Structures are given as C-alpha cells and as structure tokens.
Chains A and B, each alone.
Chain A
Amino acid sequence: MTTGPQNSSDRALADLAPGEQGRVVRVVAAVASIAGRMVDLGFSPGTPVAVVRRAPLGDPVVYRVKDYEVCLRRAQAACVQVTGADR
C-alpha cells in the first residue's frame, strides 16, 4: 500500500466520469505487489490522471497518465484513490 495525505474529498478513480481529472493520492490493494504494479504503471501518488473513455459495454476504461493511455478494469481503477477531481 502506498499512502499519501488523508483527505475527505478523495474518490476512487473508478468513480470518475470520462473527461474528469484527478491526482493520485494513494493506491490501496489487498496485495502489496499489485498496488506496486499500479504505481509502476504510472499511478504513483501525486501523478495527474484523466479519464479518456469507457468501452462500449461500460468496462474497461481508458485513462491518460504519465503521457500515455492505459485501460483498466473497474476493479483495478477502484484501487487508485484520487483527489481534486475536476474537468
């Protein structure tokens, strides 16, 4: 688990709508190595993330992070907590 400062406005990345942006606060996963993988994919605390688009069937979702696009399923995006979500 990688943590940042606690804040009540934190939301799960999975709850952001396409077009919204946020900044990663922490990655929380039951298994530390999986949280670590999310960080290595670019979702490290402090990194801005934007929601690009949903798949036609609603899942997975494409995110833009560290200058590239990666798609995650809801379960993975739920591990990433973001703050300061805005358009």
Chain B
Amino acid sequence: MTAACHTGGAATVTPARAPRLALVGSPNAGKTSIFNALTGLHAKTGNYPGVTVSRFVGTCRVGADRYVIEDLPGTYSLDPISADERILVDVLDGRLDGVARPDALLVAVDATTLRRSLGLVAQLLARGLPTCVVVTFMDELSRRQGRLDVAALGQALGVPVVAVIGNRGQGIAELRETLTGWDHWPVPTIAPPTEAAERDAWAESVLGFAGYHPPQPHRVTQRVDAVLLHPLWGSLVFLAVMVLFFQTVFTVAAPAQDQIENLLGRLSGLVVAHVPEPWLARLLGEAVIGGIGGVLVFLPQIVLLFLLIALLEGVGYLARAAFVMDRVMAGVGLEGRAFVALLSSFACAVPGIMATRTLPSAKDRVATMMAAPLMTCSARLPVYVLMIGLLVDPSARVGPFGAQGLVMFGLYLLGAVSAMLAAWAFKRLGDRRGLALPFYMEMPPYRLPRPRSVLLMVWDSARSFLRKCSTIIVATSFALWLLLNLPVHSAHHLGAAGVDAGDPAAVAAYTVDHSVAAGLGRLVSPVFDPLGFDWRINIGVLSAQSARETFVATLGQVAAANDPEHPDDALRAMTDADGRRLFTPPTLAALLVYFVYALQCMSTVAVLRRETGTWKWPLIAFGYLNGLAWLMAYLARMAVIALGG
C-alpha cells in the first residue's frame, strides 16, 4: 500500500540540467514520507518500461534550484532475484532506456533497524555515487531506549548523514540544504566489503563508532501481538475486523451514495426542465450527468475503503492480516499480501488491483489482478437484487434463512471460489518458467498512523480513480445513449409506423426498438441465444460492458417502464415474440452466473492497463472472463432446465 501514498500529479517538465537523485531504502524505512516531504504534491506516477513496477518521480525545489527525485521501489538488497528487482539496479547503473542514471543517492535508513539496514547501505556505497544517508524514526529509537550519534555515523560511513522525522517535518530543512551540495558529497575512498562476514564486521564497527544502542523490543507491539496473533483470539479478531470492514464499506457509504444519486437526479431533472431542445436535454441529462453519476456513486466506497486500508496499514495491522492469511493464500500459490488486494475487491476491483502494488512478485501481482474482478464488487449488487427478485419468491425459506439471501450468498461464494481458482491457474501458468521467489515480510511495530500519509493516500486514490476512470465511463455512457437513441425518427415517420408522436413513452419505446443498439442486440443474438437471452437482454448485457450497474437502468429503458429505476414489474411481464415469458428461471440463472464471471467494467480494464503498463493483461482478462462467463452461464441454464426449472 505504501506505494499508493505517492501523489500523482501533472507531469512537470524538468530541464535536463536538474540533478537527478535516486531515493533508495528498505520497505518500512519511511522512504515515502521523505519523498512526499521533499517533493510536496509535485510528483509524477507511471510505470517502468516493460514491467509492472510503478515509477514515482518528483521535483524538489530549494531556492532557485530544482532536483529530480526518483523514488525507487523498496528493497533489502541490490542482488536482484526477479526481473522486477533488476529494474532498481538497472536504474542505478543507467542501463534502463529512457531513465537517466542518477547523479547521486539518498538512502533512507530506519534507525530502529540500523543493524540490518547497514547491509544495504554497504551495497549502495559500493556503487561509487555521491551518497547521503537519511536516518528516520530517531524519535522511536529514543522512546525504546536506543541511542545513535548521527554525526559519528556520518564520520564512520564517510558520507553526509541527516536525521529526519518525516511526519513532523523535522530535519527536512537540513536535508534540503544538504541536497544543494550534492556534487561535493564525499564518496568513500574504500568501498565497504561485500562478503557477508566481512560486511557484518564492518557494520559492527560502524555501529560501535556511532555509539549505537539498539532499541528494546516494542512492548506495546509484543502485548498486542500476543492477542492479535494468538491462534484463537487472533483468528476471532481477524474475523471481527473483516466483518467490520465490510459493514463500514457498505453501510456507512450507503447514505453518501444515496445523496450523490439524489443530487445528480435533481441536476438531471433541472437540465431536462430547462434545456429547450429535448434531444440535447436528454443527452446532457442521461448520457453526461448519468455517466458522471455512474462514477461518482462509487466515490464514497472508494474513499472509505482506502481510508480503512490506509489506517490499518498505518497502524501495522495489514501486515498481521497478511501473516494470518498467508497459509490460506499459499494454497493457491499466492501469499498473504494478495489477500488484502482480494479483500478490497469485494467493494471494487479498482482499489483491489491498485493494492497489488504491495506484492513483491510480479507473477503474484498478475495472478491477483486476474482474479480480482471475480470478487463480487458492489456494482454487481443492483443487478443481483433485481434478478434474484425475479427468480426467487421473497417469502421462500430454506430452514431459518430466506431463499433470496441464500442465493445472494451463493453468488458471493461462487465469485470468491472462482477468484481463488483463477489466481491458482494464473500462478501455475506464470510459474512454468523462472524461479519461485522466497516469501518474507517485515513485521513493523505498531505505530500511530500519520494523518498526513493517510489523507494523501486517500486523496491520491480518489483523484486517480476519478481522473482515469471517469473519462471512460462518461465516453461509454455517451456512446450508449447515442446508440439507443439513433436514428431520430421524424413525426411523419412515427405516424406512418402507427406511433403517437405526442406520447413520449411510446416514442421512446419505438426509438429504442429501432435504434442502432437494438440492431446490435439482434446482431449478437446468435452468441447469446443459447443462454436464453433475447435482443433486449443483449442490449442490457452490452451496455453493462462499460459498468455493470447500467444493466438495471438499461433494461428499464428498453422495457420502457414508467419507473426505470424499479423495472421489476414491467420486466416480469415482458414476453418474447411468441408470447412466452422472457425471464424464466433458466434465463435468470444464466444471467446471474454471467454477471458473476464477466468482466463488465471499463474502469477495471483501464486500471489493469495502467498497473501492468501494457494492453496484454487487460485483453487476457477480458477474453478469459467473458468466455468463462458464457460457458458457466450456459452450464447454469442447462442445470436449471435439468432440474425442471
């Protein structure tokens, strides 16, 4: 999650002469705080060419001078064991196309883990670049009865050392001042040894010279972990946290979502009432405002989800959740951190896919991303509610449980199990070549989350969600509206067809029936006929391709129901050309299962493209999920028919 704390902003054009400094350090070393403190909100995010590694570049201004800061992925070593890790070394050596070699290094080091961190420092000093060591968590070191003489550490290492407390901005001014002299930073004349035993001896001598006393183990962490990681209590707390997590995401966000829907509904009404040209009013009201609403309505959930994740991450609980779940995830070839990403996907696949950034292994990241869209996201809920309402009698009960609720639970379970199987399959495919990466995860002590980091992370995710995804949703909504409303029929034409031009509902029904979209719906009918869908359901399924929840509104429009938001009754009465009921149990089962599997979300496609840096993975996800959706829907239909439905 740490990577998501960076603030993505507009690209800043940097003159070639600005010195480039690479910021290197282990995960949890406070690198992100330093990066944010130095660059403020002027950072640019992207991908390194050819890999799924996010790249963060920012500009730091000191007086009139500008410094380009490149925040490299967190690492424990400069000896790469994967293609992703090689990126870091390639950047340091200037071997990566389009990424200039850094002029100097900033090394972030956690004062409480200095003994281990000096190994990385030794490897970095051996690069022979001007280097400045930035020591973080000095406050925590002294709170836990540790000691470090920063000036002496500088003497022992032979490079400048600055102590900062990232969240309070302490030492940042000194660090900025130090940056200006980067070309005079001394390079150690004798590089530290690289062989393990010699390097340890070197580290011990440096620690001795700097008067280092390691911190006492954190007592609060020990006590809290004794409960949170206890075989029984730990599991119960874990389940409670998960339940609370979903309750909060669904219930707390719901009123805000209703507010947004109401507001946009009123706005749309105003537009329809005040724009004189009816087609323009409907275009603005339905396509533009409706399209924006389709995105905005998820904003409360996304913000809340990221707030909870940022808080759990900041406290240190996510590492514990990953630790508890690792054994389960290992069953499908993934690791505990993938669980966090799949968990987020229950609300929305977009933050879930973004959360895969915490996974060190590229194969794990891809396998998790391919599985994430199968987790039942909130956009499927309206569709499920509508279809289950048509399929199952509300009063039907199975034992103490309502049958409707059981079907809903079954759909969630089907999605989750399928996601795990998909992750397993993609991991197996990915593992055919290359070596299995070792699993290790630092367990940081519990810390109070830093409000600034938490807010930055929430702000960044909300903004990137809106910016990257709104364009796509608005565009598809616009296109769909045009397809459903073109061609425009003249009053004469309507009259000739026997439609009362003065009755808007009749005109709308006729227009939709003879629209380009209806043509498309009939065109794809050979594909969907085996599932029992007719051209009207096809239009719904096609329009849901941009965002699932549009299915409900589209079916309503197509059925020309008086209340497009509650089309149940109109849909129940819908019949096909031969007068048979359209929504039979086999068709409804097929539809529900289709929605469990199909990748019908352009936001997800967009975020897959952004996170993997290629179109390859979004295309694979699109192909395999929609193919699977068709197959499973067909099987579901056959099964229900066989059961006599």
Contact = CB atoms under 8 A, between A and B. Distances in A.
Do A and B pair up? The answer is yes
Contact of A37 (B77, B197, B235, B330): B77
Interface in A1-48: 2, 31, 33-34, 36-42, 44-47
A49 to B, nearest CB: 12
A66 B116 CA distance: 6
- Which size bracket describes the interface of B in this complex? 35 or more
A3 to B, nearest CB: 10
Interface in B428-446: 435, 438-443, 445
A74 B149 CA distance: 38
Contacts of B439: 60, 72-73, 75-76
Contacts of B238: 56
Contact of A69 (B76, B114, B327, B443): B443
A55 B464 CA distance: 36
Given A40-B119, A70-B441, A70-B442, A34 B323 contact: no
Contacts of B120: 40
B81 interface: yes
Nearest to B229: A53
B116 A68 contact: yes
Contact of B200 (A37, A46, A53): A46
A65 B441 CA distance: 13
B324 interface: yes
Contacts of A45: 196-197
Interface string B486-521: 000000000000000000000000000000000000
Nearest to B75: A40
A62 interface: yes
Interface string B218-232: 000000010001111
Given A34-B438, A36-B79, A55-B229, A44 B328 contact: no
A33 B324 contact: no
B116 A56 contact: no
B382 interface: no
B116 A67 contact: yes
Contact of A55 (B114, B326, B445): B326
B36 to A, nearest CB: 24
A70 to B, nearest CB: 5
* Interface SS of chain A: mixed
Contact of A71 (B77, B215, B330, B443): B443
B196 A76 contact: no
B234 interface: yes
A44 B196 contact: yes
Contacts of B217: 64
A38 to B, nearest CB: 7
Contacts of A69: 442-443, 445
B436 to A, nearest CB: 9
Interface string B71-107: 0000011011100000000000000000000000000
B171 interface: no
B155 interface: no
Interface in B144-159: none
Contacts of A72: 438-440
B438 A76 contact: yes
A42 B120 CA distance: 10
Interface string B297-334: 00000000000000000000000000110111010000
Contacts of B441: 60, 70-71
B438 to A, nearest CB: 5
Interface in B200-242: 200, 214-215, 217, 225, 229-232, 234-235, 238
Contact of A75 (B197, B199, B214, B438): B438
Contact of A73 (B114, B119, B199, B326): B326
Nearest to B201: A46
A38 B438 contact: yes
B345 interface: no
A59 interface: yes
B77 A56 contact: no
A48 B439 CA distance: 21
Contacts of B215: 67
The 5 residue pairs across chains A and B that have the minimum distance between CB atoms: A40-B77, A57-B327, A66-B116, A69-B443, A67-B214
Interface of B: 76-77, 79-81, 112-116, 119-120, 123, 196-197, 199-200, 214-215, 217, 225, 229-232, 234-235, 238, 323-324, 326-328, 330, 336, 435, 438-443, 445
17 contacts: A34-B81, A39-B119, A42-B115, A46-B197, A55-B324, A56-B234, A60-B323, A60-B336, A67-B214, A68-B442, A69-B442, A71-B443, A72-B438, A72-B440, A73-B326, A76-B440, A79-B438
Given A33-B81, A56-B231, 20 more contacts: A31-B435, A33-B80, A34-B438, A37-B81, A38-B438, A40-B76, A42-B119, A44-B196, A44-B197, A44-B199, A47-B200, A55-B323, A57-B328, A58-B327, A60-B336, A62-B323, A67-B113, A67-B214, A73-B438, A75-B438
